[in-house]
Amino acid sequence: MNLKEQHCTDRVDKALDTTQAKNLCAQLENNWHLDPDTKSIEFDFQFRNFHETMAFVNAVAWIAHRENHHPDLEVGYKHCQVRYSTHSVGGLSMNDFICAAHIDDLLPRK
């Protein structure tokens, strides 16, 4: 099933292994960065102005609320860096990739 068609689960027992994380990262539309330890994924979204950045941040907040899975955000004037990791398992879970796919879906296709 496509990541965008899935929703997060409250039950996450263990972190994904490196192969699983790489395979899921390849399914994301934007070029999300998988950290070398495969404990997080991140992408720095670029915008034309602060207004667009804040609209994006609010949309990400809605996804986080709906999915009950929250990213770390670093917000600047014309960018927002989004980082996902499932702290309860000390690494990445399917929930991280599901949310990343929903965020990718916010923006026009490149």
Estimate to the nearest angstrom the gap between the alpha carbon of 90 and the chain centroid.
Answer: 16
> How would you write the pLDDT of the chain (110 residues) with one tens digit per residue?
799 999 999 989 899 999 999 999 999 998 999 999 999 999 999 999 999 999 999 999 999 999 999 999 999 999 999 999 999 999 999 999 999 999 999 987 65
> Are 103 and 62 spatial neighbours (Cβ–Cβ below 8 Å)?
no
Extents of the domains making up the chain: 29-104
Q: What is the assigned CATH class of domain 29-104?
A: alpha beta
Q: What is the DSSP letter of 14?
A: S
Angle (CA) 30 37 64, round 5°: 50
